[in-house]
Amino acid sequence: MKPRSLILPIIGAGLSVGCASPFDARWDNPVYRSLQTKYSQRDQQPNPAETPPNPIIKDLETQSSLEINDAIRIAIENHPKLRAAGYRIDAATAMVVQSGLHPNPSLNMESEALGSNAGRGGETAFTIEQQIVLGNQLNNAQDVARSDKLSTQIEFEALEFAIATQVSTAYFSVLSAKQRLQRNQELVALSTQLLDSVNARFDAGSATETDRLRAEVVYEQALLSLDATRFQLDAANQSLASALGTDSKIDTPLITEIDQLPVLPTHDQLIASTLETNSKVSLAKLAIERAKQSHKLAQSQSSPDLFVSVGPRYSDIDNETTVDLGLSLEIPLFDRNQGETQATLSQRLSASAQLREVQLELLAEVSNAWSNYQSSLSAANRYRDQLIPKSERTLELTKLAYESGKTDFLRLLDAQQVLIESRLSYLSTLEQLHHSAALLNELSQSSPHWRNPTPTPQIQSIDHTQTEASR
């Protein structure tokens, strides 16, 4: 047993190692460290009631407005998923320490002839036995544990990008839903005007029952769309709050324009970055190294451990004290750990094949996301430069014709409805465009701008220039 004076420094050193993380994170604060020390000393699970409060509400209260990069930064710094991932890094760090520890010695006592009627006992022996691990097994076990720790760190960083994608998608979904709500409100107003106009004409005998029924259907469809958009906005707001790591309503104004997006690298650059830095590739490469280390550990475990014992022996009969020394070594005659050695060798070969599988899957994901991005970008440009301007021009000409008595009110309402529906489709295209851009950034993992919030990543309006450059 170690003296109590030695135990506390060892615990303190272990806790300082356990606080390690891929980089400084805000959740690794004094409250977190005090709780970790507290529960490590108690050797019990934390009480949920004593968990430190989520500071995200305070962060949002200090923001007069919320730009997309600020939203991602707040989520990265406060999201409970990353807090949980940080604890997994702590656990893996502790296992690196644990895997390199030598077995504890054992203290044995053996006494003969206790309670003899002759009044004299036999022999009493005290021995200390220590298992000595041979074959460099402890170092090999630590290498495996270090690989596991590195895996948790890579997963931590992958989770950052996943949260960034989730926040970006939710953020622009809220912006899109708000504008879609306005457009649908305009549609309801137009359909109301259409219905009133048709009813008046029907009462005057200049419209048929079919015309009135059609106007009523258009009105009901507009109301259904408006109700659906309200629900979508509520859901989008809740999704944004969840993505930021809180269940409270987000009241801070969102100021990033939906028709702007970060500049992306070219397709070839995205492919190269994905195959080099994506966490799945890093984990697959690490799996090969871990399998190699596990194979090495299995080979070293074929070496038997040495057991050494030493201690005094007192003979009551002879009234003398001697010293016993013992050595024990297992003979690896049948079990030489050959099964596990062969299994870990097969795992090495499997890990190598899985790396190629991961690379091929990522190539397909990047190509699919790039295709969606380019398709959305082309559609957004066409809506902005062609469809919406033409719809606006059509409405302008229809208004002039209506004012001069050359067309009826129904045609005017129809032109207004076409313009609103074009703008709604444009919003849907922009929303898909932002989602594809965020997904490409997650796949390539080339721009973790939340770690260094300044300078702000370049932002540009959607135009044809980027489309032509990408080609």
Q: Calculate what percentage of the chain has a pLDDT beyond 90.
A: 46
1-15, 78-92, 441-455: range with highest mean pLDDT: 78-92
Cβ atoms of 469 and 288 closer than 8 Å: no
The neighbour count for residue 282, using CB atoms within 10 Å, is 20
* Higher-pLDDT residue of 404, 396: 396
Where is average pLDDT lowest: 27-36, 281-290, 292-301, 305-314? 27-36
State the Cα–Cα distance between residues 23 and 72, nearest whole angstrom: 17
Mean pLDDT of the 271-287 span:
92
pLDDT higher than threshold 90 for residue 436: yes
* Higher-pLDDT residue of 87, 467: 87
**CA dihedral sign, ordered 411, 415, 420, 421:** positive
Mean pLDDT of the 53-70 span:
70
* Higher-pLDDT residue of 21, 429: 429
The pLDDT value recorded for residue 194 is 82
Helix (H) / strand (E) element for 13: namely helix 4-18
What is the average pLDDT value for the chain, to the nearest integer?
Answer: 81
State the Cα–Cα distance between residues 224 and 230, nearest whole angstrom: 10
State the Cα–Cα distance between residues 175 and 292, nearest whole angstrom: 50
> Please, which pLDDT band fits residue 317 given cuts at 50, 70 and 90?
confident
Mean pLDDT of the 164-181 span:
94
Transcribe 288-329 into DSSP letters: HHHHHHHHHHHHHTTSPPEEEEEEEEEETTTTEEEEEEEEEE
State the Cα–Cα distance between residues 279 and 448, nearest whole angstrom: 13
> Please, which pLDDT band fits residue 112 given cuts at 50, 70 and 90?
confident
State the Cα–Cα distance between residues 239 and 231, nearest whole angstrom: 12
Q: Catalogue all structural domains in the chain, each as residue range(s) with its CATH number.
A: 53-103+140-302+362-470 (1.20.1600.10)
> Please, which pLDDT band fits residue 260 given cuts at 50, 70 and 90?
confident
> Please, which pLDDT band fits residue 207 given cuts at 50, 70 and 90?
confident
The pLDDT value recorded for residue 59 is 61
Cβ atoms of 78 and 244 closer than 8 Å: yes
**DSSP code, position 450:** G
Where is average pLDDT lowest: 175-189, 256-270, 362-376? 256-270
Q: Calculate what percentage of the chain has a pLDDT beyond 70.
A: 80
> Please, which pLDDT band fits residue 193 given cuts at 50, 70 and 90?
confident
The pLDDT value recorded for residue 366 is 95
Where is average pLDDT lowest: 324-338, 345-359, 399-413, 449-463? 449-463
The pLDDT value recorded for residue 56 is 56
